[in-house]
Every structure is written in structure tokens, then in C-alpha cells.
Structure 1
Amino acid sequence: MSQSSTDEDKMKQTTGSYNFSGLLSTFRTVKYEHLVAGISGGVISTLLLHPLDLLKIRFAVDTSTSSNQASYSGVKNAFSTIIRSEGMSGLYRGVTPNTVGAGCAWGFYFLFYQTIKTDKQKGNSKLQLTPSDHLITATQAGILTLGLTNPIWVVKTRLCLQEELNPSSVVDKSKYYSGMWDAFKKIVKYEGFRGLYKGFTPGLFGVSHGAVQFMAYEELKTSYNQYRHQPIDAKLTSSEYLAFAAISKFIAAVTTYPYQVIRARLQDANCTYTGTTDCILKTVQKEGIAGLYKGMTPYLVHVMPNICLVFLIYEKIANG
């Protein structure tokens, strides 16, 4: 090898050209059916199950410590109260950004995850990865997805928490949103672009949720196919996909739910916390550990059918 080529190699290493070209080569293997499949699963499941997601958010930001002070005494009471005071449309407050966000999030997540996974497998789908490989891959996909979708989740949270229907009776007009795009504009105008990234830090912790979920899902499928003496990428039945999706989601939900409470409280337009740490400390101090799990019941009722629908639709579209 000539001296000039050696110097050129060193120059590329110094400038990071190799890393950049490596990233480009990774995304040349992108199969966009993963994007389409993820979007389809996210949109369909969200449209069907949005009311339960709305309840989860309202329970999560309820800082009262007794049932007498709480806005809702339970899931059934929450449904009836919202319908009585806000009408049936109240159950679908924030559905537009939620649908857009879920479609984008699942689409990008599956796209990034499968692209990075395929790169690790060197294009061989039968090559078994380790649990840590799945965990790292899912974490990388989660961080990329969060960076793109956090503004949508802030808008969704604000709209889900907005109970006032008459704008003329709102004291602070900057916190009243007539819709998704109005919320985007007002948040940027009154809070700057930083306002669109409120809750981003606990959202990073939340990446662990997706990582644990995907690791569990992949390991369950791999172990099951090995038990059947089948290739690890062998197709499963609909009921098997549903079962593994539900089990993996339950494991992830139980271990990582508190971050969603913290993120929702920080994204609330009426937030009084100075940051993530302050929110955690005050929540535990005033409400105990149970405060970190507020909204867990509607969340579990919501996410189980949600994740089953997302994964089933994804597997059927992406893998035929």
C-alpha cells in the first residue's frame, strides 16, 4: 500500500468519513415495507383505542392524593364524566396528533429497527442475534424515532388535557388550542422550539420501554421457533404473534411505566415542575410510589389490544 493511500485512510478516519459512509451503506438496505407496515399498524390501532389513551394521560397528570379530590374516581366514572361534560367528541380530543404521532412513531421505529437489525445480521435473516444486540438495536431505533416525533407528542398531550370547549372563557389564550396546527404555532410562539421538546428527557428513559419490549418479543419468537426446530425467521400464526406481542408489552409496561407519568406532567401546559428530577421527587413525596403508576389501569387496558393490533398488522404486511 502506498504512503499516499495510507495518509488518505488516516484522513478519512480523522474526519469520520468512514462512519458517514457506513451509515449511508446501512440505510441503502432499507426496505420501505417496514415503514408502511408500521404506519398502518399505528394508525389503525390508534383510531380504535384513542379514548383509553386519553384517560391514561388525564389520570397521569392528576396530582390529587385522595379519591375525593381526584377528577375521576375510576375508569367508568372518567368515561361518563367526559361524555357528560364534553360530549362524545371529548373522548377523541387530541386524536389527530395522536394518530399522526402513532403512525410516524411506529413507521419510523420499525424502519430504523429492521434496518439496523439487518445490518447487524449482514443481510442474513437466519443469523441469530443476542438479547443485548436486540436491546441495543431497539434503543438506537427508539432514540432516532423520539427525536423526530417528540413535538407531536407534546401537542397530543396538550390537546388531550384541554377540557375547556369555549375559547371566550379561557383566561390565558396562549394555552387554548383550536387544533393540532394551532397548538404547534402557539407552542413555538410562546415557548419557543424548546417547548416542542418538553418531556424529551423522560422520553429518553422511555426508549428503554421499546427496547425491553422488542428484546422480549424477538427472544420469544426465536425461542419458540427453536423449540419447533424451525428457522428463527419462520412465520408464525396470527394467534402466536398476538400472544408474544401481549407478553412482551406486559413485561415492558410493568418495568418502565413511571416515565410516562413524568413525561405527561412535564408536557402539561400548566406544569409547575422545574425539570425531570423535581417532578419525580415531588410526585413521590406527595403521592408516594403509587403516584408514579397513576393511569396504569387504563394504560394496560389500552396498550394490550393496541400492541397486539400493531404487531399483527405489521407482521402480516411486512412479512406477507
Structure 2
Amino acid sequence: MSQRDTLVHLFAGGCGGTVGAILTCPLEVVKTRLQSSSITFYISSVHLSAVNGASVTRVAAPGPLHCLKLILEKEGPRSLFRGLGPNLVGVAPSRAIYFAAYSTSKERMNRLLEPDSTWVHMVSAGMAGFTAITATNPIWLIKTRLQLDARNRGERRMSALECIRRVYQTDGLRGFYRGMSASYAGISETVIHFVIYESIKRRVLETRAAARMDQDGDTTRDASDFVCMMLAAATSKTCATCIAYPHEVIRTRLREEGTKYRSFLQTVSMVVREEGCKALYRGLTTHLVRQIPNTAIMMATYELAVYLLER
């Protein structure tokens, strides 16, 4: 792939990620709060009777709408955009690195394996995910810390620079890479997503191209092609997210400030033991509501940018 092609995919990936991040930021904040072990927004308690007669309190998390309402009441609308700064700083390079690595890997894998096969898409998505995660994990850690920083109206909010300073003072450079093991586990979601997406995309474009050739011999893409790509992206992301979602909860727990969670497997074990298996899917509804349109917008923007730049 030429240098120009690489730059095209870098720019297109950055544009897609930025547009999606801005439009879906409030849902990202609600999702992160629901995934957290913090009881700041927990509103109901279930008292259980222990064997020795003592009472045990199990705190239950609110639903997405109630969490959204509490954020608006206690912190104000601005809190729904907490972490947007690091998100915008990170999403463009992250998606740019991801899509450039994906397209480069796919180009090389096509020479070694059957072109555009499932294995090509799986390996390419995996390599792209690993590259992007390793390069940008510190940015996402800061974003998560800011989103979890719940302050009442009028209270001074922690800035990104202050957050960076606190992470470094507490854990040193290693602190910026907390949760990376869970992110690596999340590569499985990316792989599943791109395998399904590429399969749907190829079939849709082949069908529509054949129909156009039968009609007037024109193979130029139109707006309906990009709508189809958005639907393909939404479908593939839904399937992948439902399968691999628990890594999202584990990653948020590992990134919490002063957390008792130390490693991926230890966190899984502790969450299941203390809160039950359902806790591994806390915030899934909000995540789907955010991720599906975000992915559809991102992929459609990416495809449109590539198409326009390569004309």
C-alpha cells in the first residue's frame, strides 16, 4: 500500500472516530458510571439475612435513565461531557492508528493467505487492535478517571493535567497502563466485529454493484451504499459487544483510582464473588445504545472519507 493510501486511511479513521465520540459522549459517561464499583450513584439497598443473624447490605445500581437523571440533578449537564477532552485527543490518533494498521495488515495478509478471507480479517483486526491499545492506553485511563470524578454543582472539577499528576504520583508510569490487560482481552470484540462487518459489506456491495451493472453499467457508489454500511456496522458491533462485553466492566474497575482490583483474572473473580455474574454486564444497555450509533457513524464517516479522498 502506498504512502498516500496510508495517509488516506489515517485521516479517514481519525475523522470517523472524532465525529462518533462527540455525538455519543453523554452515553459514554453514563456507561462508565454504571460499570464502576463506586456507590456514588447507587440508590437502593437490599438487606440480606446472614447465617449468624447479622444483616448484609447489597447495594444495587440504578438503571441508565435514573443514573442520567442523578448526574443532571447533582452535577449539571456539563458532567455529561466529562472526559471529552482526552477522548477527542485520543480518539483521532487511536482510530487513525487502528484503521491504518488494519488496512496495512490486511494488505499484507492478503499476500500470505486467501485474499479477503475470514482469517485475513481476523488477523488484521487483532493486530490493529493490539497496536492502537498499546499506543493510546494512557489517554483512555485519564478519560475514565475524569468520567468517574463525580462532583456536586459548584465544586471544583479535576482537570486532565491534575489527573495525570495524581496518577503519576500514586503509581508512576505503570499507573498509566492500568486496564491494558482487559483492553487486550477486548481485541476479541474487535475481531468479531470486523469479520462480520467485512462479510456483510462485501455481500451488500457485490449485490448492489451487480444490480447497477444490469441497469446502466454504472458502478459509482451513492448515498444508499453508505446507509447499508452503517447498518452493517451496527449489526456486526451489536453481535460482537454482546459476546465480549465483560472486559469493559473489568477495564473500568482496573482504572479506578485507589482500586482494590489488581489484575484481569483477580478482578473477574472478585466482581463475580461480591456482586454476582450479572455485574459483568452492568451498563450493557447503555453501551449498546451508545456503541451502535457511534460505530455506524464512525464506519460510515471512514468509508465516505476514503471514498472521497481516493476519487
TM class by smaller structure: 0.7 to 0.9
1:41 to 7, 16, 28: 16
Unmatched 5+ residue regions in structure 1? Answer: 1-25, 170-176
CA contact 1:40–1:314 (8 Å) conserved in 2: yes
Structure 2 spans left out of the alignment, 5+ residues: 46-58, 211-218
> Please, which moves more after superposition, 242-251 or 128-137?
128-137
| 1:204-224 alpha-carbon deviations (Å, 9 max, x no partner) | 001111111111111111233
Query: Is 2:255 aligned against 1:267?
Result: yes
How far apart are residue 32 of structure 1 and its match? 0.7
Distance 1:216 1:144, change over 3 A: same
C-alpha distance 71-36 of structure 1, shift in aligned 2 (>3 A): farther
Check 1:151–1:234 CA distance in 2 against 1; reply closer, same or farther (3 A cut). Answer: farther
Q: Residue 138 of structure 2 aligns with which residue?
A: 151
Task: Return the letter of the residue paired with 1:219.
Answer: S
Shift of 1:164: 2.7
Question: How many pairs does the alignment contain?
Answer: 282
Which residue number corresponds to residue 100 of structure 1?
A: 89
Query: Match of 1:242, as an amino acid?
Result: M
What does 1:1-320 align with in structure 2 at a 5 Å threshold?
30-62=5-37, 68-69=44-45, 73-122=62-111, 128-164=115-151, 178-228=158-208, 230=210, 235=221, 237-320=225-308
Tell me the amino acid that sits aligned with residue 159 of structure 1: L
The CA distance in 2 between the partners of 1:295 and 1:204, in whole Å, is 20
Give the letter for the 1:102 counterpart. V
Cα displacement (A) at 1:167: 10
Counterparts in 2 of 1:71 and 1:86: CA distance versus 1, 3 Å: farther
Contact 1:63–1:287 at 8 Å: present in 2 too? no
Q: Secondary structure at the match of 2:6?
A: coil
Quote the sequence identity (%): 28
Whether the 8 Å CA contact 1:109–1:142 is kept in 2: the answer is yes
Q: Tell me the distance in 1 between the aligned counterparts of 2:77 and 2:209.
A: 51
8 Å CA contact retained: 1:225, 1:234: no
- Whole-Å Cα distance in 2 between the matches of residues 156 and 268 of structure 1? 11
In the aligned structure 2, how far is the partner of 1:227 from the partner of 1:168?
A: 57
Distance of 1:67 and 1:276 partners within structure 2? 28
Find the aligned partners of 1:113 and 1:204 in 2 and give their Cα distance: 16
Q: How far, CA to CA, are the matches of 1:165 and 1:222 in structure 2?
A: 50
Q: Which amino acid aligns with 2:137?
A: N
Residue 295 to residue 234, structure 1, CA distance change in 2 (3 Å): farther
Shift of 1:268: 0.5
Task: Point out the more displaced range, 98-107 or 110-119.
Answer: 98-107
The letter for the 2-side match of 1:305 is: P
1:186-243 per-position Cα deviation (integer Å, ceiling 9, x unaligned): 212321110000001111001111111111111111233444565xx98571221111
Quote the Cα distance in structure 2 between the aligned partners of 1:130 and 1:36: 26
Change (3 A) 1:277 1:27: farther
> In structure 2, what residue type is equivalent to 1:68?
S
- The TM-score with structure 1 as length reference comes to 0.81
Call closer, same or farther: CA 1:189–1:131 in 2, change over 3 Å.
same
Aligned Cα root-mean-square deviation (Å)? 2.6
